[in-house]
Amino acid sequence: MRLSQASLWLSTLLVFGGCGGDDPSETPQLSEVTVTCTPSSVVAGQSAECTASAKDQDGQPFSVSSYAWTSTVSSVATVNTKGQVTTVTAGSTAIQASATASGVTRQGQATLTVTQVPEPLPTVHASNITSNETWLAANNPHLVRGQIALTGTPAPTLTLEKGVVIRFEADAELRVLQGAILAQGTQDAGIRMVLDPGAAGVKWRGLVFAHKDSVSQLEHVALSECGGASGAGGCIVIQDQAAPVLRDVTVQRSGTSGVLVAQDGSGFGASSARLNVSDSQGYAVRMGSNQADTLPTGGTFSGNQPNAIELRGNVARSQTWRHLGIPYDVPAQVDVSGTPTPTLTLSAGVVLRFGRASALAIGENGLGELVVDGTAAAPILFTADAAAPQPGHWYGVHLQPRTSSSTRLSHVTIEYAGAERPAGRAGRGNLNIYGNSAGGGARPILNNVIVQKSSHYGVFLQEDGAFGPGSALLTSRDNGGYAIALEGNFVGSIPQGGVFSGNAINAVEILYGGVRETQTWSNLGIPYVLNETLEVGSANSPKLTLTPGTELRFALDKALIVGQTRPGTLSAEGTATAPIRFVPNTETPARGHWRGLYFWQAEGSRLDYTVVTHGGALGNPGRGNVNIFRELGAFLTNSVLNDSLNCAVTRSGGGHTGSTPVTTDYTLSTYGNSFSGNESRQCAN
């Protein structure tokens, strides 16, 4: 009995003990986050305040330590860690807040609508400006309607405040006929000149400076969608000898050229800098050659059609064309000449592209000088203005007789010239150098110059034209004619150390004239071709020296004469391994192809280790490879004399005017000469 009562009491205790804990489902948990933004619709640039609250599973307020805030479209609005919203532009975005508690994360959001700032009514300008005006940023946007001009007396000034926005209707224009525009933008608050939105697809004409004495200045100004076809030809047009100062000016998407500068003395004002032109449907800049040195430096040019600077007209004053990162295009001849002597200097890296029927002439109509200052790292290029250039595209560089002796060309390539000029001197080379037919004329100094891909000559020199002293490293290659052509008296000026290869006639052509000055013809690795008879002799008793390995080739019936009318000397002293050769200019020579070597008043001459073949043609007295009309003693030694039509050596008997009997027997073994294929070894004349 007692045991049963104790058990019942214990069971009752256990039941009550089991009911003593809490129900976990009744613990508050994070269930919902709600976001509210005030206001929910704002104008771009205004701010909004967003708040967040949380509830538990029973819909009761729930406390969280912090919220993480985000904007789904940050380009429309951004939000900071406190729910403060900054709006940027028109659009819609969701402002979201998320919270985490006991491992549970919940997020809420509210939609924020941002509307555009109401467009203010424009400040309209539709009539000429005849007195001083200031256009303020506070009155933006300004609207130009039609073609308006600054004009009147006294000359008006239009001042544009920083931050000003000017819209131009289709075909609108702002022109300076009197006075000046002072556009005073800054890097942070530039001035914009744009197409009015209502004129989409049609350009406005542009900004025209047409006043010689204007002091106009544009600083931190951007122009776009201008250069309309009905305008003056560019987004910015400078004419009537105007020279506005442009600093940090940008031109975009012109319908014609970016900037047009007339060939009337107009240019960019001093201190102009950083002109940027992009995406024009014409040249980046078009202007007269005589003002090309006023082009601003430090700017950029891209996407223009073509992306180049077009230059027209002659150069009459000294100036430098600087490397601006794009080529200069020359569609017609440019002549550098005047009084006093103008000097055109080209900076390292400059590229000049020449159109058909174009040329660069120095001293054509007066005195002139050219300085081409390329470097090994930044050479200068004269080339054809063509996508697929061909030899003979343009006329080449022509250094006329009045070209200054200070003219120099360094680290420059000249290519694709050789076209025949319709007038003037008829040089058909990449580089053409002319003398004055009196022993003077152009004497340019060449260093590291390449002439290539001409339709005719690499370099053509005429009428006493010559290379200047100190010239070196001339390369002539892949031209359609001779590597070089020049008169005999100036062959000694050819620069040393160059390369000659791939030319249609890989040789130096001796045009005409005699050797009147002492000089040396070096072995250039290619032959000299004499297409005319050459005489060595003058009142100066010149000495022509040929170095070992040199080869002279003679055209049909031509000769080399030493001292016939006036005294001269020929020194041709080769070596056993590098003899000096006097041979016919043909691949299939016949005996008597040319007349031979003639020695008259030729004291001091030497032929040692030479090869003389296929002479003896009719014409001059004597019909040998070597013809001697005055006693010269043992001057002919160790030489090969072959295949003369008549005699290998002809000796005078003294019967010709100016001759003396020659008695030295050059066939003696003492002299080391050899003979083969001649009619006879030695005969008298």
- Output the six-digit token pair for 303: 């996407």
Q: What is the pLDDT of residue 222?
A: 98
Mean pLDDT of 490-496: 97
Q: What is the pLDDT of residue 25?
A: 59
Rounded (10°) CA dihedral 125, 130, 134, 135: 10
Strands 610-613 and 580-584: parallel
Q: What is the pLDDT of residue 8?
A: 37
CA distance 394 to 382: 10
Q: What is the pLDDT of residue 150?
A: 98
Q: 119-312 maps to which CATH number?
A: 2.160.20
Contact between 487 and 511 under an 8 Å Cβ cutoff? The reply is: yes
- Which residue carries 């976001």 as its tokens? 35
Whether 151 has a pLDDT exceeding 60, the answer reads yes
Nearest to 486 by CA among 452, 538, 521, 448: 521
Helix/strand/coil (H, E, C) string of 154-223?
Answer: CCCEEEECCCCEEEECCCCEEEECCCEEEEECCCCCCEEEEECHHHCCCCCCEEEECCCCCCCEEEEEEE
DSSP, collapsed to helix, strand or coil, labels residue 39 as coil
Confidence of residue 619 (pLDDT cuts 50, 70, 90): confident
Q: What is the pLDDT of residue 10?
A: 36
**Other Cβ atoms within 10 Å of 51 Cβ, number:** 14
CA distance 230 to 98: 60
CA distance 206 to 168: 9
Mean pLDDT of 620-649: 96
pLDDT tens across 410-462, in order?
Answer: 999 999 999 998 876 679 999 999 999 888 899 999 999 999 999 999 999 99
pLDDT tens across 194-242, in order?
Answer: 999 988 789 999 999 999 988 999 999 999 999 999 999 999 999 999 9
pLDDT tens across 75-129, in order?
Answer: 999 999 999 999 999 999 999 999 999 999 999 999 999 998 777 899 999 999 9
Q: What is the DSSP letter of 549?
A: T
Does residue 39 have a cis peptide bond before it, meaning omega lies within 30 degrees of 0? yes
Q: What is the pLDDT of residue 621?
A: 86
Helix/strand/coil (H, E, C) string of 226-259?
Answer: CCCCCCCCEEEEECCCCCCEEEEEEEECCCCEEE
Q: Which of 67-71, 114-118, 304-308, 453-457 has the lowest mean pLDDT?
A: 114-118
Helix/strand/coil (H, E, C) string of 323-371?
Answer: CCCCCEEECCCEEECECCCCEEEECCCCEEEECCCCCEEECCCCEEEEE
**467: number of CA atoms within 13 Å, CB side?**
23
Contact between 494 and 473 under an 8 Å Cβ cutoff? The reply is: no
Top-confidence residue, 578 or 1: 578
Q: What is the pLDDT of residue 424?
A: 66
CA distance 305 to 281: 5
Provide long-range contacts, Cβ within 8 A and 24+ apart, for 114-121: 114/41, 114/42, 114/43, 114/44, 114/76, 114/77, 114/87, 114/88, 114/89, 114/90, 115/41, 115/42, 115/43, 115/44, 115/90, 116/43, 116/44, 116/89, 116/90, 117/43, 117/44, 117/45, 118/43
| Burial (CB count <10 Å: 0-12, 13-18, 19+), residue 210 | buried
Whether 15 has a pLDDT exceeding 60, the answer reads no
> What percent of the chain has a predicted confidence (pLDDT) above 90?
91
The length of the chain is 685
* CATH classification (class only), 31-115: mainly beta
Q: What is the DSSP letter of 511?
A: -
CA distance 424 to 436: 14
Mean pLDDT of 508-518: 94
Whether 561 has a pLDDT exceeding 50, the answer reads yes
Confidence of residue 361 (pLDDT cuts 50, 70, 90): very high
E strands present in 487-527? 500-501, 505-510, 519-521
Q: What is the pLDDT of residue 320?
A: 98
Q: What is the pLDDT of residue 119?
A: 72
Contact between 500 and 527 under an 8 Å Cβ cutoff? The reply is: no
- Cα–Cα distances (Å) from 332 to 199, 288, 317, in that order, read 38, 12, 19
Backbone angle region of 232, left / alpha / beta, with phi > 0 → left and psi within -120 to 50 → alpha: alpha
Mean pLDDT of 382-406: 97
| 582 sits in which H/E element | strand 580-584
Top-confidence residue, 516 or 1: 516
Contact between 445 and 468 under an 8 Å Cβ cutoff? The reply is: yes
- Which residue carries 């039941």 as its tokens? 15
pLDDT tens across 153-198, in order?
Answer: 999 999 999 999 999 999 999 999 999 999 999 999 999 999 999 8
CA distance 621 to 170: 87
Rounded (10°) CA dihedral 604, 608, 611, 614: 40
Q: What is the pLDDT of residue 558?
A: 96
Q: Which of 16-25, 341-350, 639-648 has the lowest mean pLDDT?
A: 16-25
Top-confidence residue, 12 or 287: 287
Whether 11 has a pLDDT exceeding 60, the answer reads no
Whether 9 has a pLDDT exceeding 50, the answer reads no
Whether 288 has a pLDDT exceeding 90, the answer reads yes
- Which residue carries 């467009």 as its tokens? 119
Q: What is the pLDDT of residue 5?
A: 42
Whether 6 has a pLDDT exceeding 60, the answer reads no
Confidence of residue 23 (pLDDT cuts 50, 70, 90): low
Q: What is the DSSP letter of 425?
A: -
Q: Is the pTM of this model over 0.75?
A: yes
Parse the chain into domains and list their residue ranges: 31-115, 119-312, 314-513, 535-685
Contact between 563 and 602 under an 8 Å Cβ cutoff? The reply is: yes
Whether 1 has a pLDDT exceeding 50, the answer reads no
